[in-house]
Amino acid sequence: MTGLSSEELDILRARLDAREAELGAQVRGMNEEAEEAPSRAAPHNVGDLGEQGEELIRGAVRHAEKERDQMELRQIADARERMDLGTYGSCVDCGADIPVERLEVLPFSDRCVSCQEAYEAANPIGVRIPPAL
């Protein structure tokens, strides 16, 4: 385990729990909304072309938000696994301790700032635009 105290680990675990509950509720809400109003996702049911375009964009945004939330849920699960393995708080790339200040802000962080910057430079996030747009 890293230099984190058991009290710090408990606090960080509680933050992960709270964020997981929040994200889970958001994803469930998005799923329920999609089930309750499938016609909203069908742009052909909207009046003019401008409204169709707006509905396509809203649908793409909802989809991107759901993907983002699901990715963060996976990161939270991974952080919990690292806690169980005793590697939580250590950078997965260089092995250095991740500062507790970083973990307080992003408790699912798996890299120190330097390694995260290098990772992001080597792996830029691409924006996927749905084929309908």
Q: What is the pTM of this model?
A: 0.78
DSSP H helices in the chain: 6-36, 49-85, 100-105, 113-122
What proportion of the chain, given as a percentage, has pLDDT over 90? 59
103 touches 12 (CB < 8 A): yes
Compute the radius of gyration of the chain from its Cα atoms: 19
- At the topology level, CATH places domain 6-122 in Four Helix Bundle (Hemerythrin (Met), subunit A) (1.20.120)
Q: What is the pLDDT of residue 100?
A: 96
- Under the banding of pLDDT at 50, 70 and 90, the label for residue 102 is very high
